[in-house]
Chain A
Amino acid sequence: MKTFKLGGIHPEENKISAQQPIEVVPIPKTVFIPVSQHLGAPAKPIVEKGEVVKTGQLIAKGEGFISANVHSSVSGTVQKVEEIVDYSGYRRLSIVIDTNGDEWMDTIDRTTTLKKECTLDSKAIVDKINEMGIVGMGGATFPSYVKLNVPQGHKAEYLLINGVECEPYLTSDHRLMLEKGREIMVGITILMKALMVTKAMIGIENNKKDAFQLMTDLAAEFQDITVHTLKVKYPQGAEKQLIKALINREVPSGKLPIEVGCVVHNVGTAFAVYEAIQKNKPLFERIVTVTGKSIKKPSNLLARVGTSISDLIAMTGGLPDDSGKIISGGPMMGRALSNADAPITKGTSGILVMTEKESKRVPVLNCIRCGRCVTVCAMGLEPFLLAKLAENKVWEEAEAEHIMDCMECGSCQYTCPSGRPLLDHVRVGKFEVAKIIRTRKN
């Protein structure tokens, strides 16, 4: 079975919501839509207080090359355009809308019949993806159209589709593949057309055998799409590790996947592309897995962007009594919230409610130089060294030791027997080194 060779760990999978079909979250009374739900420059609001908007209407325009449009996920009146507390407790500019019914833009095709043919040419597809505000749905939220703009001197050979979902607990991609497999396939063909490639490969981890079976059967109906099963290992879903496993090529340090001739997209992104190109539907809703050991009904919920996280938790039976932390994302790379009323954004793949016991951090001891962090690092770095350099603020040496290669997967901190906050230190280090690199460029 294919896999990446360097590093990796096996945390408990806990895919307790895997059998739950997707449910639709009712539209809330108010939505809070941040103007920055993607990597890159925040979008600029183009609506004002008092304006009436429809579902799918453009409400903020992307600024610059790496940016994305933001569309309204509901119909109603704009209450205010103001800084709202997000999940991290900091305030971010958001558009707050009081909902009124659910009137969609006339341009959107609301039928559910599968539309296979795409008449647009490559450039038109890329432009439309940009227009519709599509971003990476795996959680990174990188504006998708940017990846489809192949730079001069490079050629794309493969389109790789990420159906891995290696984070424990999260099952949104799994359910999407099971319930919307055909649409994903059409989305993949559209992406292939946009990239002008003839080969697409879908990677699915071995713990989703039903999804693998279904996608393989579907792939037979479509040309040039192959489905592959991958060994269950974290972080298999990371871009570079996926590329290594599927086509055995290593993306060089500091470069993008296009360097080895491929572009990677999440299955959720492929689905969003299908809806955008074939149904003229912008990205304003997504599937969020709400799960946790004490949650009464772990679910996969289709929620409109801007819905409060507390509404989603209520749908699963409410916040359990022994709750400790609420995590946005998975247990490995997610962030703990300090505000449960914060809104769902395009990148919220899951909400994990950890019990009080699970949330307790172990005491921090000295590094015993066991070397386990080095063994599990999927990027071949030395986490103990990077953490020490970051702790002692030796930024230049940290840069020389390739701290910027770190993808913050958390395997090192997970494995450390002394409970050292390796990833936390490296994150601080990366932040400072990034600042230094930026000032150097200017």
Chain B
Amino acid sequence: MNSTILIAVVAMFAIGITAAIIIYIVAQKFKVIENPLIDEVVELLPGAHCGGCGYPGCRALAETMVKRGSLENLNCPVGGKEVMGQIAALMGLVAEEKEPMIAVLRCSGSKLHAPDKVLYEGASSCSFLHQLNVGESGCPYGCLGQGDCVFSCKFDAIVIDDKTGLPVIDNEKCVACGACVKACPRQIIEIRFKGKKDRRIYVSCVNKEKGGIARKNCTVACIGCGKCVKICPFEAITMENNLAYIDFEKCKLCRKCVKECPTNAIAELNFPVIKEKAQPNTEVQA
């Protein structure tokens, strides 16, 4: 009995040592020399691997940052200013001041403003519905409300509001990674500046049809009248294909266009309410 145990122990020991030696040799021979800085940057990054920076995964962004040796045009929207500042400090660079961004739904075609003309009975997918049919409200450019954007959001920042039938983007949770922008088959969602004090103004419509036709389907559609273009003191608004567009880099949030719009197509978020005149349509997005 003793000899059996002894043989077993010696044999196991020998195998163990041999294996250890082989592993050591292989590890040395096939070692990949990598800049240890990359690992340190990866530690700082949030690790969501959401692709919001435009690179596949946090490690890829870290590699690019270290290899380039600069943070120019590189930004982690999830980590934001704080994380970028830390990475800059680590790499001995100065972080670019980036304006925080957020996803914005440019459509107010809720069940109230753009009532359903027909009911959709099928799989809940915006891309299916967009291909097969114009949608329940009849507007060929408007939000279909089936939730492709909700499904694509990895940060739980979008929910469909049951009353309006439109998605609502959470001000705090959204990191502007752009997944919902890609998911929307009608390109209704846009990444825009979050704005000072989270205030932002945008044309809440992407309908390119002539005014009369657009209004048949939705009461708050942009009819392409051009009044907002004329009134804007900063030339931030342009008109193309019967649709107005506010350039968020030029907009100074003066709110003149919101008052001017005859169909209430321009939305303003997180502003104090003006007591006189008609309410601008803020009830759609929270």
Direct contact of A and B (CB under 8 A): yes
Contacts of B140 in A (CB 8 A): 89-91
Chain A: minimal CB distance from B67 (Å): 27
Given the known interface contacts A90-B140, A338-B117, A428-B127, the answer about A421 and B122 at a Cβ–Cβ threshold of 8 Å is yes
Q: Interface 1/0s, chain A 402-421, versus B by CB < 8 A?
A: 00000000000000000001
Whether, in the assembled complex, B242 has its beta carbon less than 8 Å from a beta carbon of chain A, the answer is no
Q: Do residues A89 and B122 form an inter-chain contact, with CB atoms below 8 A?
A: no
Q: Interface 1/0s, chain A 423-439, versus B by CB < 8 A?
A: 01001100100000000
Partner of B134, one of A88, A324, A360: A88
Partner of B133, one of A336, A360, A424: A336
Q: Do residues A428 and B133 form an inter-chain contact, with CB atoms below 8 A?
A: no
Q: Do residues A90 and B123 form an inter-chain contact, with CB atoms below 8 A?
A: no
Contacts of B213 in A (CB 8 A): 91
Chain A: minimal CB distance from B48 (Å): 19
Chain A: minimal CB distance from B207 (Å): 12
Contacts of A364 in B (CB 8 A): 123
Contacts of A85 in B (CB 8 A): 134, 138
Q: Do residues A335 and B132 form an inter-chain contact, with CB atoms below 8 A?
A: yes
Contacts of A427 in B (CB 8 A): 128, 131
Cβ-closest chain A residue relative to B118: A338
Chain A interface SS verdict (over half)? mixed
Q: Do residues A421 and B128 form an inter-chain contact, with CB atoms below 8 A?
A: yes
Q: Do residues A431 and B131 form an inter-chain contact, with CB atoms below 8 A?
A: yes
Chain B interface SS verdict (over half)? loop
Whether, in the assembled complex, B224 has its beta carbon less than 8 Å from a beta carbon of chain A, the answer is no
Q: Which of A79-100 contact B (CB under 8 A)?
A: 85, 88-91
When chains A and B are docked, how far (Å) is the Cα of A428 from the Cα of B122? Answer: 14
Whether, in the assembled complex, A231 has its beta carbon less than 8 Å from a beta carbon of chain B, the answer is no
Given the known interface contacts A338-B117, A338-B118, the answer about A88 and B133 at a Cβ–Cβ threshold of 8 Å is yes
Chain B: minimal CB distance from A396 (Å): 15
Q: Counting chain B CB atoms within 10 Å of each CB, which of A336, A338, A421, A431 scores highest?
A: A338
When chains A and B are docked, how far (Å) is the Cα of A335 from the Cα of B122? Answer: 12
Whether, in the assembled complex, A325 has its beta carbon less than 8 Å from a beta carbon of chain B, the answer is yes
Cβ-closest chain A residue relative to B151: A391
- Counting contact residues on chain B (CB < 8 A from A), the size range is 10 to 19
When chains A and B are docked, how far (Å) is the Cα of A359 from the Cα of B128? Answer: 17
Q: Do residues A89 and B127 form an inter-chain contact, with CB atoms below 8 A?
A: no
Q: Do residues A361 and B123 form an inter-chain contact, with CB atoms below 8 A?
A: yes
Q: Interface 1/0s, chain B 109-144, versus A by CB < 8 A?
A: 000000001100111010110011111101010000
When chains A and B are docked, how far (Å) is the Cα of A428 from the Cα of B131? Answer: 8
Chain A: minimal CB distance from B262 (Å): 24
Contacts of A335 in B (CB 8 A): 132-133
Q: Which of B205-252 contact A (CB under 8 A)?
A: 209, 213
Q: Do residues B138 and A424 form an inter-chain contact, with CB atoms below 8 A?
A: no
Q: Do residues A89 and B135 form an inter-chain contact, with CB atoms below 8 A?
A: yes
Chain B: minimal CB distance from A141 (Å): 18
Q: Interface 1/0s, chain B 271-286, versus A by CB < 8 A?
A: 0000000000000000
When chains A and B are docked, how far (Å) is the Cα of A335 from the Cα of B129? Answer: 11
Q: Do residues B128 and A424 form an inter-chain contact, with CB atoms below 8 A?
A: yes
Cβ-closest chain A residue relative to B123: A421
When chains A and B are docked, how far (Å) is the Cα of A380 from the Cα of B140? Answer: 36
Contacts of A359 in B (CB 8 A): 121
Contacts of A338 in B (CB 8 A): 117-118, 133-134, 136, 138
Chain A: minimal CB distance from B231 (Å): 31
Contacts of B128 in A (CB 8 A): 421, 424, 427-428
Q: Which of A266-314 contact B (CB under 8 A)?
A: none
Partner of B121, one of A88, A89, A360, A424: A360
Partner of B122, one of A339, A361, A431: A361
Cβ-closest chain B residue relative to A88: B133
Closest 9 CB pairs of A and B: A89-B134, A421-B123, A338-B118, A424-B128, A90-B134, A428-B127, A89-B133, A88-B133, A338-B133
Could you name 23 residue pairs across A and B whose Cβ atoms are closer than 8 Å? A85-B138, A88-B132, A88-B134, A89-B118, A89-B133, A89-B134, A89-B138, A90-B134, A90-B140, A91-B140, A91-B213, A335-B133, A336-B133, A338-B117, A338-B138, A361-B121, A361-B122, A364-B123, A421-B122, A421-B128, A424-B122, A424-B123, A431-B131
